């Protein structure tokens, strides 16, 4: 993969994680009540930081970052322009959500703003996938791309939400403290499972789509499975191991046990994140042009 693609790796992963964190945490707060909201307080701020850092990385892919606002002038024809717009609106909605949620004057607007942020976040992930739905790149031009991005959002967002609540949970025994953490962790496990399922459905679809060869007889699948087989397999192993460690931490929390070392939770997140980075590396490595 060309080194200049790394900003896109970080941009796509961080923004998708930001969306996933918002989705999982908001659903958990709706079902877990006030106690869950306390454990996940500031979730929109964490989501904003992730998205803002991701957007900052995207400027590294531009020839002239100062000209980036001009990309918005082609909304009618460019998915890239729509991606920039959706990401910007999503980040703005997170700022608005924080203001309405923690300012008494605007508190009545918090719920509708949260709905807007939720919907715009989903739209952002969808628009991101459309940027790479290019006819001349068969490995990208399939449902695998959307599954890849949605899977990353749900998997990383679930781990981020679960760990945010875990580190704030006092670990005291009793229904008043165990019920909200159990609710959050249950939902985090559900969404993480859905994310991992999306990733594993995506893998064979992308490999099948990348079988088509170009004029030089090169296919995206062959390029990945020969030159990049090691990292490709490693990303799968890391995703499984990271998720398994998170399941261990989540189950311990649901049983009211905080004796589990916090480093296990951090390790689960970092291992899963490393798997996603390698997976995104493989995604961009499958850029093999077919035709003109």
Which residues lie below 8 Å from residue 154, measured CB to CB, with a gap of 6+? 20, 23, 24, 191, 192, 194, 195, 198
Q: What is the pLDDT of residues 84-131, one digit of tens each?
A: 899 999 999 999 999 999 998 898 999 999 999 999 999 999 999 999
Tokens 């961009």 identify what position?
A: 284
Q: pTM for the full model?
A: 0.91
The residues spanned by each domain of the chain are: 3-285
Cα–Cα distance for residue pair 149/152, rounded to 1 Å? 5
Hey, what are 97's tokens? 């959500």
Q: What is the pLDDT of residue 172?
A: 64
Per residue, the 3-state secondary structure of 255-280, as one string, reads CCCCCCCHHHHHHHHHHHHHHHHHHH
Q: What is the pLDDT of residue 212?
A: 84
Q: What is the pLDDT of residue 2?
A: 47
* Fold of the domain spanning 3-285: Formate dehydrogenase/DMSO reductase fold (1.20.1630)
Q: What is the pLDDT of residues 43-69, one digit of tens each?
A: 999 999 999 999 998 876 555 555 455
User: Within the chain, which residues score under 70 in pLDDT?
Assistant: 1-4, 60-74, 76-77, 172-177, 215, 260, 291-292
CB 166, CB 265: distance < 8 Å: yes
DSSP H helices, 40-140, are: 43-58, 79-102, 110-131
């Amino acid at each position: 993969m060309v080194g200049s693609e790394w900003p896109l790796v970080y941009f796509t992963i961080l923004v998708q994680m930001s969306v996933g964190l918002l989705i999982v945490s908001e659903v958990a707060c709706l079902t877990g009540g006030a106690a869950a909201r306390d454990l996940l307080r500031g979730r929109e701020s964490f989501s904003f930081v992730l998205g803002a850092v991701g957007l900052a990385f995207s400027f590294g892919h531009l020839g002239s970052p100062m000209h980036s606002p001009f990309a918005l002038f082609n909304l009618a024809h460019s998915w890239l322009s729509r991606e920039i717009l959706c990401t910007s609106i999503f980040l703005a909605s997170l700022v608005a959500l924080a203001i309405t949620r923690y300012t008494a004057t605007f508190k009545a607007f918090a719920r509708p703003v949260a709905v807007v942020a939720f919907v715009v976040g989903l739209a952002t992930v969808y628009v991101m996938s459309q940027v790479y739905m290019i006819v001349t790149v068969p490995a990208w031009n399939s449902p695998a791309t959307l599954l890849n991005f949605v899977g990353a959002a749900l998997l990383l967002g679930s781990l981020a939400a679960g760990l945010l609540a875990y580190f704030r949970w006092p670990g005291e025994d009793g229904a008043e403290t165990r019920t909200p953490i159990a609710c959050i962790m249950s939902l985090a496990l559900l969404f993480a499972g859905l994310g991992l399922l999306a990733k594993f459905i995506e893998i064979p679809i992308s490999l099948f789509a990348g079988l088509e060869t170009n004029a030089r007889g090169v296919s995206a699948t062959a390029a990945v499975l020969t030159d990049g087989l090691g990292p490709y397999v490693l990303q799968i192993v890391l995703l499984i191991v990271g998720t398994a460690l998170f399941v261990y931490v989540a189950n311990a929390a649901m049983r009211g046990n905080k004796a589990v070392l916090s480093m296990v939770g951090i390790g689960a997140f970092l291992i899963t994140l490393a798997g996603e980075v390698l997976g995104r590396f493989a995604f961009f490595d499958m850029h093999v042009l077919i035709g003109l």
